[in-house]
Chains A and B, each alone.
Chain A
Amino acid sequence: AQRVTQPEKLLSVFKGAPVELKCNYSYSGSPELFWYVQYSRQRLQLLLRHISRESIKGFTADLNKGETSFHLKKPFAQEEDSAMYYCAFGGTSYGKLTFGQGTILTVHP
């Protein structure tokens, strides 16, 4: 069965510092991977999807099939980036998402 692991429950950085939120997955096929962000108990918002290779709010994520990872990166963190970040895996025919445990990112001024 597919599994998503976010090893860090909490991550603190200072404003302007680089940030990397780790995500590893286990799946033998071709994964569909996403990053969702949840600001202060609001709705889950799609941040990135690997298939579109886009950059949103300065965040990027590259799928590394060799390392089975999909880490989220931003070169210069901002205070407004403070939120809960979820890595999610989708790949079944009806689109069920499997979420990681989430990482709470705190960006200090």
Chain B
Amino acid sequence: EPEVTQTPSHQVTQMGQEVILRCVPISNHLYFYWYRQILGQKVEFLVSFYNNEISEKSEIFDDQFSVERPDGSNFTLKIRSTKLEDSAMYFCASSEAGRGFYGYTFGSGTRLTVV
């Protein structure tokens, strides 16, 4: 069964540093998403991406965040200047059609620790 792949699985970074989290969505999927889960809290939507542009973003997704699909296969989330409160598990997801019938496939996540 096809999978969404995320790298790295765990990243530790110093406060103020830039980080890039990488994702390889399922190849025939057209809609891409980032979610985050702070330890002990629920999964929160960050951003959706379709047709090479952001289609929707949450209040969390401020100017420190950006997404990119640089080469037609990778889908990246960049945090420009990390803060302690950015420490969380970040999940990438993709969907064939952006609608419920097909579901959404999640990656195994990147645990980001900001120190």
Contact = CB atoms under 8 A, between A and B. Distances in A.
Contact of A95 (B42, B44, B89, B98): B98
Contact of A86 (B43, B50, B103, B107): B43
Interface of B: 31, 33, 35, 42-45, 48, 50, 55-56, 89, 91, 93, 95, 97-101, 103-109
Interface in A67-95: 86, 88, 90-95
Interface of A: 32-34, 36, 41-46, 49-52, 86, 88, 90-102
28 contacts: A34-B100, A41-B89, A43-B106, A43-B108, A44-B93, A46-B104, A49-B100, A49-B101, A49-B103, A88-B43, A90-B99, A90-B100, A91-B100, A92-B56, A93-B55, A93-B98, A94-B50, A94-B56, A94-B98, A95-B33, A95-B95, A96-B45, A96-B48, A97-B33, A97-B45, A98-B45, A99-B42, A101-B42
